[in-house]
Amino acid sequence: MRVDAVPRRRVLAALALAPVALSPVALTGCAAARDDGPDPLIGLADAARSDAALAAALVAADPDLAERVNPLVDARTAHAARLDAEIARLAGDTAPAAAGPAPAAPAVTDLPALRAAVTASGRTAAEAVLSLPAERVGLVASISACCATYAAVLG
């Protein structure tokens, strides 16, 4: 046996203790600190309300688009409601948060502008997913996917 060799028992003990040493409790100092800034879902909920208002204004200006655009109005309205409920849940409120301020009446626009707005909303939601806790990722990722799908359909 070499004098500078590590004994087999010490290696086995180190391997046995490695999971304990690397447990989440031991790594809490490495965890990211909770951000005390505004909830990132607030901006997503506001964007959902804005997209719904923009789509509704487009349908009002051109009723021939109703069949194509009304499902987007319904989806983005549902997104805003679900995001508001999640914001309230995390804040510890028992009742869902009241909807944010109604967006200003959008200038009547066209389908490409609506598509651009929905695309931007989807991209913003996709970027937000990267910094959200796991229990919120599914909601925001599904909203991002929905926006991308509607943007493709409107294109």
DSSP state of 122: H
Please answer whether residues 86 and 135 qualify as being in contact, where contact means their C-beta atoms are separated by less than 8 angstroms. no
pLDDT in tens, 37-56: 789 999 999 999 999 999 99
Q: Which residue from 135, 127, 154, 139 is spatially nearest to 80, judged by alpha carbons? A: 139
Name which residue leads in pLDDT, 155 or 2: 155
To which residue do tokens 């997913």 refer? Answer: 129
- Give the N- to C-terminal CA distance of the chain in Å, as an integer: 74
pTM for this predicted structure: 0.71
